[in-house]
Structure 1
């Protein structure tokens, strides 16, 4: 009877082990997929460096020139134009900009131009007095602003300042 019982236990043990190993062989999987989306929008950012004329001598026969840089970054394929405001001085316009004295209210005229020859004024109306449209690349694009105080421009002794706003139209 002892032999019968140990054979019975061995068969029972085998019966338990065989289904356990066969379950692993019957593993299944389930899959699905999902969408990944994004929308790229038309956008621009702009930064500007100051135009610092330094010391101006009103009795000099020479103009005083200085430059600044606009850095515009627009989404690739986005056309844009940059405009420059008249500034904040009383009576200023885009063709007759003025800096205001810090100590007194005297004004010092100056101009901002699209070219180094100071022949093309840089205004604020796209398609009229701003540079031609540029197409964004997604990378920073630079533009030079040419400033000039004409020779013989009178101004009282003072430190002069103005604030010009850059507008990117896209």
Structure 2
């Protein structure tokens, strides 16, 4: 019986100590921050006119530019004059050696709004939504250009300003 009473006394003592001697705590906070930078990525497909016949109507073709910009970021997409000497954004040229074939790049399907590289004048603007957006480039080779047969090409640089 003495052992049982002694055990009960010890248990009561430890219960009293644990109820009155809890561990102390303290809290604090920290801030979490991030800066989202405006950003855009662009890609494009080849604009292939195929066979050109100077005796027929103009030869038209299209290609797509895909632009993906940070949500809410405004952008302007410009197309330069190309790499063929003598070409401008309003009178582009494809070359085959010293021979050139004129063509145009446009913002609309009627091929009446030139697509150049001067912001506020002849670029295409938009606002990013975080997803891919497609811009169509409308190309035209005017008829009645009597150039030697062969493969003609040019390289256009696309610039996204954001």
TM tier relative to shorter chain: 0.7 to 0.9
Please, which runs of 5 or more residues in structure 2 have no aligned partner? none
SS in 2 for 1:10: helix
Residue 14 (1) aligns with residue 8 (2): yes
| Residue matched to 1:109 | 102
Task: Write out per-residue CA displacement over residues 60-89 of structure 1, whole angstroms, 9 at most, x where no aligned residue.
Answer: 221110001112222222222111011111
Greater shift in the superposed pair: 157-166 or 25-34: 25-34
Matching residue within 31, 37, 54 for 2:33: 37
Q: How far apart are the structure 1 equivalents of 2:133 and 2:58? A: 29
Please, which runs of 5 or more residues in structure 1 have no aligned partner? 1-5
Matching residue within 149, 153, 158 for 2:145: 153
Q: How far apart are the structure 2 equivalents of 1:111 and 1:128? A: 16
SS in 2 for 1:13: helix
Could you say what the CA RMSD is over the residues aligned between the two structures, in angstroms? 2.1
Tell me the TM-score normalised to structure 2 length.
0.85
Equivalent pairs, count = 160
